[in-house]
Amino acid sequence: MTRTNLLKNPNGNEEMDFWELTENGGSQWHVEDMPGDCGHVFSDETVTKYFSTSFELCLKRQVIDLVAQGFSPEDLDFIQPNVTVEDWYCSRTDCGCVYQLAVSLLDENQEVMQEFNPDSVTLDPDTDDCSWKKITHVFSSYGPGLRYICFQHGGQDLKYWDGWFGVRVTGSSVTIDF
């Protein structure tokens, strides 16, 4: 199998389709055109949209069913392929924000086998350039039983401004490397 992004609608081209909104505070999740107000140019010009968060916590997730995606349980158990997760996030130039990411490898009962849950990142335009930053993690040697992957990310702004002044996310991906 090729390394296909298993996340659907990673950049907001289809608004909020395929995403479950687990927290939708403030002015709620919103999709904007790149680079947006007080925004930054993105390194990949084919990415033209991003998701933006508000003044209260906004989190969204997708749960990927690997068997439904065509991966055989035998291959997943025997080969235990690397699972690579990437996400891009940034802040506006006029308002700081908090970004968070949590990715879990789940068994057939959707119990956590392994997770990547780094500390939240605070971006402050007074001390950071707040441009697009990439976070990457590779899961390996997680044992047999992998059947689902849960990808969740989001955040909020630091000034509680009405509107979409929180973290911006795009270019999210989950790939499996056989």
Domains of the chain: 20-177 (2.60.120.260)
Distance CA 125, CA 131 (A): 9
Q: What is the pTM of this model?
A: 0.93
Q: What are 139-170's pLDDT values in tens digits?
A: 999 999 999 999 999 999 998 888 888 999 99
Mean pLDDT of 96-101: 96
* pLDDT for residue 1 is more than 50: no
DSSP, collapsed to helix, strand or coil, labels residue 157 as strand
The sign one gets for the Cα dihedral 77, 176, 65, 99 is: positive
Nearest to 167 by CA among 36, 8, 13, 17: 36
State residue 165's pLDDT score: 85
